Structures are given as C-alpha cells and as structure tokens.
Structure 1
Amino acid sequence: MPNNYFKFKQFTVYQDKCAMKVCTDACLFGAWAAAHSSQLKARSLLDIGAGTGLLSLMLAQKLPGIMIDAVEMDEAASQQAKENFEASPWRERLKVYNTSVQQFASAAQHKYDIIISNPPFYENNLKSNDAKRNLALHSAELKLEELIKISGDLLKDDGKLFILIPYNRTEQLSALIRDHLSIKEIVFVKQTPKHQFFRSMFLLGKEKSSAVTSEMIVMGGDGRYDGEFIKLLQDYYLLL
C-alpha cells in the first residue's frame, strides 16, 4: 500500500486523497523542467492537471518569486494540492483552481511564461473500475489535441511548455504540435540501460527552433541512481 505522504528535503507531498501517487518519472520530469526554467526570467507558471501539486512545489522551490496557478478538476485532488501548498514554504506563491482546464482557459486574464503538464496517459487503453484513477490516467476529460491548443493559447510568445508523456505516444504528440508549437528538446527516459524507453519529456515553445534529442536513465547497471538523475534530484530527494 502506498505511503500517505512523500517527504522531500524542503516540502512534503501528502497523497491519500489522490488516485495517482508520487512516482519517479514525475519527480524526474519536475526536476528537469525546474532546471531548464531556472535559466529563464519567468514570473508566472501554470500547472495543468496538478494532482497532488508535486510539480508546482518542485518548480516553486527552484524559481524564487514565480507565481504559480495549478488547475485540477478532481475535487479531492485539488483539496490535497491546496493543503500541500499551504504547508509548504511557498504558500503565498501557489494557488489551486478546482475546475477543468477548458473552463480555466476561457476565463484566463493573462498568459504564462511557463506551462507544465503531466497529462492523462492512457487514452486508448482499458480502464479500471476506479473512477478517480480513470480520470487521472485516461484522457477522456482532456485529450492531447486540446492540451496543445489550450497551452498554445495561454503561453506567452517567448514562453515554454513542458509535457511528460508515455514513450509510445511520442510520435502522436510530435504530429499534434506541428500546427501550434515548435519542439525545442525531447528527452527519452528508461529505467535502466537494459530497459526500453517508457517516458518522453518535451520542451516546447512558439519560437521556431531545431529539436534537440537525448536519452536519460534512472538507474545504472549497478542498481544505483544514474549520475544525471542524481544531479537533477539531489536538491529534492532526502537520500541524495
């Protein structure tokens, strides 16, 4: 049974009210996005599908002064994110909205320097009997096409969009992006050198550019975290 909380060096993520728990790939994605974003002069960030609020908290830690709006349509998950935000050192810079991103976008008053999303994963796979887990895992409520379109509408001209998806949807997302945004970087992630890729981390923007691709592993052949993984997560994980 998963723990009710996941403790990081500077904050704790409680997850008892959320179907989707803290996981390694989400932590890696948050750290990677934070490392890139720390080089920007960003003042505003939007987290689409915030869940526990993990990504917002990771970015808040690395980006002093940035104001973060987190959108989460599941009521219990949004309440959990709110509680996690209020218990963090950055409570004054974090706000959660319990609504769909479609409704949020229709009422948005400004655009964002950074948008980050770990969207529903399994659009065409069989669903479980757990309604909340279905909402977290499947894209019945927000398809990739909508996510890209809405993100493009809410992103500043020089803004950056970070998306984490399953590796097997890389080509699909790449095709959807062409009419809206430009791919700046893709990182393919695998658990170990012997495993197949299982996640793709995208960095996108409106400005035209050539895509840079690279690979990353979570653990080396010796069963220890890879050096690049450690470099990204050492400011977050307690035991690094």
Structure 2
Amino acid sequence: MILYQPKNGYCYNSDTMFLYDFISGFNIKGKVLEVGGGCGVLGLLIKRDFPEIDLSIVEKQKIMFDFINKNLDENSLKANVINGDFLTYEFDEKYDFVISNPPFYQGTLKSENEIIKTARYEESLPMKEFFKKVNGVLKERGEFIFCYDAKRIDDIISNIPKPLKITDIRFMYPRLNKKATLVMVRAKRHAKSMVNVHPPLIGFEGENYSKEAAEIYKKAATKSIKI
C-alpha cells in the first residue's frame, strides 16, 4: 500500500501498525468510523483487509483530509472522509465500530508544528470527551478499538462510560526488559464477558524487530512517500 504523507508533519509509526494488527483479530464488519485519520493509514489498511466494511474517516486538519483522499485514490479504495472536529461534528448515523489511534501525549513541551501538535497531544482530543462522544455514535452493540499510552491504563478504565465495557487488552513492550509503552483496548457496549488480557507484544529483540513485529509490518506492506 502506497501512502503519501507530509514532509514536514506527523507520520504514522509502529503504534498504528500494532493497532492495525490488534483490530484485525476481531470480526470487523458493518459501518466503521476511524477518528483522527492522519494520512488514512489505519482505516485504509482495515478497508483493504475487510473490503465489505462501510468506512468513514473523520479528520480535523484540512491538509491531512487531502492526504486521506489522495491515498484512497492511490490505492483504489473508497471511504466517506469528513473534514471536521470529531467532538463537535454532528453525525447523522451510528457505527458498528469506532477505531482510533488518538493523540494521547501529555506535557508542556509541544511541537511548534501545528500538524504534529494536533496529531500527538491530548489537548486536541481530551480522553473523557473523546470516550463520551464515541459512546454516543456507536450502535447498541457497537465496539470501540483504540490504543493509548500504557501509563494511562487507570485513566482509561475510569473514563470508559457505561454501557461500554472493556473486553480485550494487549500491552506492547519495546523490549523484554522495558516497561510497556502502548496499550491496545477493545470495549463493547453491553458486554458481559470478563476481560481477555492478551499475551504481550514485544517490539524488538536485540537490534531487530521481534518475529511477531516483523510479521505485522510484512502483513501491512506499506510504503511511505513524503511530499
């Protein structure tokens, strides 16, 4: 998959690749909304692998909205792309799945590049408001699959609004002897099952990607072109 990205802007990274793999493990179908599409990589990969889904992508930055449409055309894929702020946009339909690699970094040292700042920092999409809006645009048995900073797991659990309930969690560790940096979460409205804590995902073994990480990149098969 060819993906055009801005030369001086935020570019997708391993978080998106690992989230793509996590999402792929579930039965993705029906109407799917990606929140914060960036250049469109996550939604396009899911649409490529699950061609029957009805994909929508909401992206607030006009420059990234244009990149999503360019990448859809480049890869002969179709989606409804919305240039708007997820928190304030009035959706006229509900979704079976909402997927997202949202901006989740905190802190005061922020990039002067507006594209990067919007894509990385939580102030662009505060967790509590984000989760509440997701809950409101999901169908009655809808699912929410996303990733976040692993250190925020307590905030994630406390801010997931009912009737959403976490059903699956997987932590990603850069290396075996390092702390988890990413958590991938699946939540479902009105779920009754206990939480399935998946085996850890290890990013690197020595100087190379772990076997599983390498397989994920191979499956994604993306090529980035910066313009």
TM > 0.5 between the two?
A: yes
Paired residues of 2:2 and 2:222 also in contact (CA < 8 A): no
Residue 69 of structure 1 and its aligned partner are, at CA, apart by: 0.6
Instruction: Confirm or deny that 1:229 pairs with 2:213.
Output: yes
Name which structure has the greater RCO, CA cutoff 8 Å, separation 6+.
Answer: 2
Residue 50 (structure 2) aligns with: 63
Report the residue type matching 1:100 in the other structure: D
Summarize the Cα distance change of 1:144–1:18 in structure 2 as closer, same or farther, 3 Å threshold. Answer: farther
Q: 1:18–1:52: 8 Å Cα contact kept in structure 2?
A: no
**TM-score, normalised by the number of residues in structure 2:** 0.89
Write the deviation string for residues 158-207 of structure 1: whole angstroms up to 9, x where unpaired. 22111111111111111101534100111110112122211000011112
Secondary structure, counterpart of 2:110 in structure 1: coil
- TM-superposed deviation, 1:230: 4.1
Equivalent position of 2:79 in the other structure: 94
Are positions 1:126 and 2:109 aligned together?
Answer: yes
Checking the alignment, whether the CA contact within 8 Å between 2:131 and 2:161 is kept in structure 1 is: no
Tell me how far 1:225 sits from its aligned partner. Answer: 3.0
After TM superposition, the structure 1 stretch with the greater mean CA deviation from structure 2, 183-192 or 16-25, is: 16-25
Secondary structure, in 3 states, of the residue corresponding to 2:152? Answer: helix
TM-score (norm 1): 0.85
The 4+ residue runs of structure 1 with deviation greater than 4 A are none
- Please list, as runs of the form range in 1=range in 2, the aligned pairs for 1:1-240 lying within 5 A after superposition: 11-16=1-6, 19-36=9-26, 39-40=27-28, 42-90=29-77, 93-104=78-89, 106=90, 108-206=91-189, 207-214=191-198, 215-220=200-205, 222-237=206-221
Measured on the aligned residues, the alpha-carbon RMSD in Å equals 2.0
2:84 is matched by which residue type in structure 1? T
- Unaligned 5+ residue runs, structure 2? none
CA shift digits 1:196-226 (9 cap, x unpaired): 2110000111123211113111223x44433
Distance 1:81 1:238 in 2: 14
Q: How far is 1:157 from its partner?
A: 1.9
| Aligned 8 A contact 1:18 1:77 in 2 | no
Equivalences, count: 221
What residue identity is the alignment partner of 1:24?
Answer: S
Between the aligned partners of 1:43 and 1:28, the Cα distance in structure 2 is 22
Q: 2:97 and 2:132 mapped to 1: Cα distance?
A: 15
Conserved 8 A contact 1:18-1:76: no
Task: Please say if residues 173 and 203 of structure 2, whose CA atoms lie closer than 8 Å, have aligned partners that are also in contact.
Answer: yes
